[in-house]
């Protein structure tokens, strides 16, 4: 050890920072953590898409029931891509993820389940939900469904209720018309609308299809 100018000169101080080996180990650890975290994050996002979609639909159904009771009118819901009319009543896909409208009209001899007519003084659009992303929603059918003045589902023949299935698509921004997936980690949900107007939401069994 040598003393110079009042300072003790010992072994050369270690250069600050990471060595090449330490840097490679750090990068490897980060890569492993990313590989584990990204799929988990994607699963959470997909589940969130399904939950949000089911919540939007069930909220509008409950709103329609309440509006029918308070306004003493028929309140209907139909599939709508534009928010200004009912679309695809004869469609075979029964897809509600394209959007829907809630509208009311007077109780007349014409009856319930009337398709919305733009410009009609008898019809009022109450709500519009635009196209949903990252999830498919398929219904038992794509016909208009209605609630009466007591908040009950208006039955027609054997049509005494409706089922809706919501399934996550591979990406949260997917707006295609493709069916979602119902697999472990990406499970769908089943929404059942009964004739009483009540709703039940349950996880879709993994053996079930996303198409009703």
Interatomic CA distance for residues 25 and 31, integer angstroms = 10
Contact 117, 123 (CB under 8 A): yes
186 to each of 62, 122, 178, how far by Cα in Å?
Answer: 26, 43, 15
Question: For 14, what's the count of Cα atoms within 13 Å in the CB-facing half-sphere?
Answer: 4
Residue bearing the bigger pLDDT, 64 or 212: 64
Q: What is the pLDDT of residues 27-49, one digit of tens each?
A: 776 766 555 544 554 555 556 78
Residue bearing the bigger pLDDT, 120 or 103: 103
**According to the model, what pLDDT value does residue 40 have?**
52
Q: Is the pLDDT of residue 149 over 70?
A: yes
Band of residue 94 on the pLDDT scale cut at 50, 70, 90: confident
Q: Is the pLDDT of residue 112 over 90?
A: yes
Q: What is the pLDDT of residues 154-190, one digit of tens each?
A: 999 999 999 999 999 988 788 888 899 998 888 999 9
- Candidates 125, 150, 145; CA nearest to 68 is 150
Residue bearing the bigger pLDDT, 20 or 61: 61
Mean pLDDT over each residue of the chain, to the nearest integer: 85
Residue bearing the bigger pLDDT, 22 or 171: 171
């Amino acid at each position: 050890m040598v003393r110079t100018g009042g300072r003790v000169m010992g072994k050369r101080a270690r250069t600050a920072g990471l060595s090449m080996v330490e840097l490679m180990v750090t990068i490897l650890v980060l890569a492993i953590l990313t590989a584990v975290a990204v799929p988990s994050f994607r699963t959470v996002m997909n589940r969130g898409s399904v939950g949000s979609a089911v919540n939007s639909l069930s909220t509008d159904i409950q709103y329609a029931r309440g509006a029918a009771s308070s306004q003493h009118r028929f309140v209907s819901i139909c599939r709508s891509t534009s928010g200004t009319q009912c679309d695809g009543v004869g469609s075979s896909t029964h897809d509600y993820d394209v959007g829907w409208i809630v509208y009311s009209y007077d109780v007349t001899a014409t009856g319930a389940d009337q398709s919305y007519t733009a410009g009609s003084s008898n019809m009022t659009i109450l709500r519009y939900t635009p196209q949903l992303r990252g999830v498919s929603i398929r219904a038992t059918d794509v016909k208009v469904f209605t609630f009466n003045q007591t908040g009950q589902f208006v039955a027609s023949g054997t049509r005494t209720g409706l089922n809706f299935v919501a399934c996550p698509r591979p990406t949260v921004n997917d707006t295609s018309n493709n069916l979602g997936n119902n697999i472990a980690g990406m499970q769908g949900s089943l929404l059942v609308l009964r004739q009483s107007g009540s709703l039940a939401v349950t996880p879709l069994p993994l053996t079930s299809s996303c198409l009703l």
